A and B are shown apart, each in its own frame.
Chain A
């Protein structure tokens, strides 16, 4: 775990050099979008892949985080770091409440709750004048530190840091006792309980982590776009991508959401110029269903399966390194 963390930290710090090396802000603008989804997909997968609970309302957490950040800025002139922490806290709370209300019953109701959550938050924001209501809020953030050369470069580096942090967190969950407990719950909740796993508490913990990470992804958004409205905050595409990226990449490991996010977000960045956003959703939806039906383990699973076919021993070695 330590070498992994150090590498991630190195990448985050190394990213700070980029604004000095690359002149064109467009790369940072596009890169931000991709990194944002790395965080969202990674956060989603902590609960989705880790414990097997489907969250259809990632946009509620993302948008909630964005609005919390905007609120903290508008009310207290809070700096970006504080906004991120506040958003994460709000996301954790939202996750725990949703989980507490539904996970003691059945996973299906959690999924339905997350859909309702998006509608509810959207309605609340639309009815709150202080947050801009339906017409939205203009955000005049403090100018970025000089080193970065611009707001876009600045939030890009912040988002890179968040992405590295999210991935470290996801990996830690995966290899630690937390991940083992979650996988045990996913396999058989009664058996896990009989092994001393506090199933409800652990599930709520995963809800908190997942919600917090997804909300943190939304926190820099108001600074990035200088404008926030319910349509962009609670956008359909976010919820769909949060689901599609881990499922297409592979839910078994932290790498899957990263692969899925980089792939899908990059394609969508290119495609949005040429095709309409509705068509984009249509294509993602079809690809998602295709993967769920034909390749439920995602791209990682496909790679794994072909490795297994070539080298039967590989399966055992692979399992060993994961232990």
Chain B
């Protein structure tokens, strides 16, 4: 029976963690999945968001609430960042991949190091009432610090999906990924649309940061382990498919959790990446992606 308990708990933890990974990947699903901008700085942005939330929490603010509040300034930052990126490259007839990737890599390093310089390299965490307690369902024991953030994801995903599918702006965002010229002919400015989308992605990053810091302590360089995971989730879900992000996250979370429990923690990082490669090799369109 011990084995059953182990498996059930591994799966439960995996589902919860996977949901949190999915929240982290949500912003990337917009920038990389829809706009095809390889924003490798996204995990660093999530960590920056986590720091903003952690600092606010020191003054007594609930982390999730802090996340929502901070999403506004981060939205603005996202717009600025996109303007910088687009101004540097897309205006010049598109920089090559090496240059774009380097820009984002440099940005991620600057963010990480700026956090280290500003807040030191010690771990930061948040104080919320439910952290330290767990939910017990039969054999399963699930800490609230996993459960609560995990529940945020479906709400956020639904809101995002409705926004992209039901509102004119959301439609514009999806359209600009397919055919920029058609969008500009219909009177919309593709640059403005993409800038807005990037802002939304950053806003989502901060909410994900809130979830991340509830789960456990963070340090400035904590984003690195998530790069493989978030890209794997976006690809597995299918480029441009938002609803699939949660499922993809859960699949990866569960796979990692099982590997950690039954094989060895050392291979956990490799799991997401292996899934990424398998998806690209076997079903490049992902679970729910449209064939281009």
B-contacting residues of A (Cβ < 8 Å)? 48, 52-54, 56, 101-102, 105, 107-109, 111-113, 115-116, 118-120, 123-124, 126-127, 236, 240, 243, 247, 251, 276, 278-279, 281-282, 285-286, 288-289, 292-293, 296
CB distance from A295 to the nearest CB of B (A): 11
| A-side contacts of B264, CB under 8 Å | 127
Contact with A along B69-103 (1 / 0, CB 8 A): 00000000000000000001000000111110111
| B-side contacts of A113, CB under 8 Å | 273
B269 at interface by CB-CB < 8 Å: yes
On whether the beta carbons of B117 and A282 are closer than 8 Å, the reply is: yes
Which one of B102, B110, B221, B224 lies within 8 Å of A54 (CB-CB)? B102
20 additional contacts, CB 8 Å, given A113-B273, A116-B227, A289-B103?
Answer: A52-B96, A56-B101, A112-B228, A115-B224, A116-B269, A116-B270, A118-B224, A120-B269, A120-B270, A123-B266, A126-B266, A236-B109, A243-B105, A276-B117, A278-B117, A279-B117, A281-B109, A282-B113, A285-B106, A292-B103
On whether the beta carbons of A247 and B102 are closer than 8 Å, the reply is: yes
| B-side contacts of A124, CB under 8 Å | 266
| B-side contacts of A111, CB under 8 Å | 38, 40, 97, 101, 105
Given contacts A54-B98, A109-B280, contact A282 B110 (CB under 8 A): yes
Given contacts A108-B97, A292-B99, contact A119 B114 (CB under 8 A): no
Given contacts A116-B227, A278-B117, A282-B113, contact A296 B101 (CB under 8 A): no
On whether the beta carbons of A109 and B276 are closer than 8 Å, the reply is: yes
On whether the beta carbons of B40 and A119 are closer than 8 Å, the reply is: no
Q: Could you say which of B38, B101, B102, B269 has the most chain A C-beta atoms within 10 Å of its C-beta?
A: B102
Given contacts A112-B40, A116-B269, contact A52 B228 (CB under 8 A): no
Closest 7 A-B residue pairs measured CB to CB?
A: A293-B88, A116-B228, A289-B106, A285-B110, A285-B109, A127-B266, A282-B113
Closest to B98 in A: A54
A sample of 10 cross-chain residue pairs with beta-carbon separation below 8 angstroms, ordered by A number, consists of A109-B231, A111-B40, A111-B105, A240-B109, A278-B117, A282-B109, A289-B103, A292-B95, A292-B99, A292-B102
- What band does the interface of chain B fall in when counting residues whose beta carbon is under 8 Å from A? 35 or more
B8 at interface by CB-CB < 8 Å: no
| B-side contacts of A102, CB under 8 Å | 277
On whether the beta carbons of A285 and B113 are closer than 8 Å, the reply is: yes
On whether the beta carbons of B102 and A52 are closer than 8 Å, the reply is: no
| B-side contacts of A108, CB under 8 Å | 38, 97, 101
B151 at interface by CB-CB < 8 Å: no
B162 at interface by CB-CB < 8 Å: no
Q: How far is the CA of A79 from the CA of B116 in the complex (A)?
A: 40
Given contacts A56-B105, A296-B99, contact A119 B110 (CB under 8 A): no
Closest to A111 in B: B101
B287 at interface by CB-CB < 8 Å: no
